[in-house]
Structure 1
C-alpha cells in the first residue's frame, strides 16, 4: 500500500517523519515500509517494533 508519509512518536518525545512511503505493511507487532531518504537521496526500507512506539500517524 502506498501512503504519502508516516510520523512515528516515541516515549522520549522524539518523532521520526518519513516521506514518499511505499510498501506500507501494518502487522500486529511491526510496521514495515520503504521510503525516500531526503538526506541521502536514496530509497531505504524500515521496520519498527510497535511496542517501542507511543503512536504513529499515516497519511494515505
Structure 2
C-alpha cells in the first residue's frame, strides 16, 4: 500500500513540475513577443535596414 502512495506522490510531483515548466516556457515566449510588440518590431517577421546616401542634406 505504501508503494502505491509513493508512486502517486511521484506522479503528482512529475505533473506539477511539468506544469511549471510549461508555464515558464509560455511566460518567456509572451515576454519576448511583448517586448518586440512594444518596440514596434513585427512579431513574426524579419526586419531589414535601408541605407540612403545623399550628396547634400538640403
Q: TM-score range by the shorter chain?
A: under 0.3
Structure number with greater Rg is 2
Instruction: Give the TM-score normalised by the residue count of structure 1.
Output: 0.18
Larger relative CO (CA 8 A, sep 6+): 1 or 2? Answer: 1
**Structure with a larger share of its residues in helix:** 2
Give the structure with the larger strand fraction.
1
